């Protein structure tokens, strides 16, 4: 991939001018492909004659995608209050702050949906005593791949709702980290904590 710098220039066909023009790379706001909004401060090729953005180099794609993802709605799950406490305590056990909770859930969703962890006992967690309680707290998760991974997990485990899958995962986290501590898993998770803190 050719990496361009701000101020670099080349020739390109400009649709507006209907001619080959000099293009200079500058930081500009550009619309998303799906028209749902605008990505800001993106390196783009601007026609020197008409001042329109006429090309977007490949190097800008990850930043545009990052901004597009930020506009997506999070996945919301309702859980009883003690679920948030179990997550916070699991985080503390890993040496992390409570705000690591979402990363911890996403790690589990990823590992479970890719069969790097067994999924067969997930459903039984939902029958445990700790599964009960009025769902009056919210877990809000944002990720580009989470939606697909949760769909995979729902069909694998035959658990119907996303909230129930999230509840089963929190109960598994509590079990793996606090009730029956899994040393290898805990060490891996401490590595993830170090990477994001």
Q: Which residues bind Zn ion (CB under 5 A)?
A: 14, 16-17, 47, 49-50
Sign of CA dihedral 32, 61, 152, 102: negative
**Which tokens hold the place of 163?**
């909230």
Q: Give ∠ CA 90-91-93 in degrees, rounded to 5.
A: 65
* Neighbouring-strand partners of residue 13: 20
Nearer to Zn ion, 47 or 153 (CB): 47
* Neighbouring-strand partners of residue 14: 19
Closest separation between CB of residue 58 and Zn ion, Å? 21
In degrees to the nearest 10, what's the CA dihedral of 105, 111, 113, 118? -110
Nearer to Zn ion, 21 or 149 (CB): 21
Nearer to Zn ion, 31 or 181 (CB): 31
Nearer to Zn ion, 13 or 61 (CB): 13
Nearer to Zn ion, 19 or 161 (CB): 19
Contact 8, 27 (CB under 8 A): no
Closest separation between CB of residue 13 and Zn ion, Å? 9
Contact 55, 26 (CB under 8 A): no
Closest separation between CB of residue 39 and Zn ion, Å? 21
Nearer to Zn ion, 11 or 73 (CB): 11
Who contacts 65 (Cβ-Cβ below 8 Å, separation ≥6)? Answer: 144
Closest separation between CB of residue 64 and Zn ion, Å? 22
Closest separation between CB of residue 32 and Zn ion, Å? 22
Q: Give CA–CA dist 195/197, Å, rounded.
A: 6
Closest separation between CB of residue 3 and Zn ion, Å? 24
Q: How far is CA 152 from CA 16, 58, 110, in A?
A: 46, 31, 10
């Amino acid at each position: 991939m050719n990496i361009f710098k701000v101020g670099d220039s080349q020739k390109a066909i400009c649709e507006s001018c209907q001619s080959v023009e000099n293009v200079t790379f500058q930081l500009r706001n550009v619309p998303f492909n799906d028209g749902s909004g605008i990505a800001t401060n993106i390196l783009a090729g601007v026609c020197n004659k008409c001042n329109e953005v006429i090309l977007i180099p490949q190097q800008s794609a990850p930043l545009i995608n990052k901004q597009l993802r930020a506009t997506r709605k999070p996945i919301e799950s309702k859980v009883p209050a003690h679920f948030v406490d179990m997550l916070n305590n699991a985080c503390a056990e890993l040496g992390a702050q409570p705000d690591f909770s979402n990363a911890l859930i996403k790690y589990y969703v990823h590992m479970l949906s890719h069969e790097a962890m067994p999924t067969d006992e997930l459903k039984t967690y939902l029958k445990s005593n700790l599964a009960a309680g009025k769902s009056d707290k919210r877990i809000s998760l944002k990720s580009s791949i989470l939606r697909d991974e949760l769909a995979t997990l729902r069909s694998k485990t035959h658990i119907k709702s996303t909230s129930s899958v999230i509840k089963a995962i929190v109960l598994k986290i509590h079990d793996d980290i606090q009730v029956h501590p899994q040393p290898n898993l805990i060490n891996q998770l401490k590595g993830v904590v170090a990477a994001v803190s």
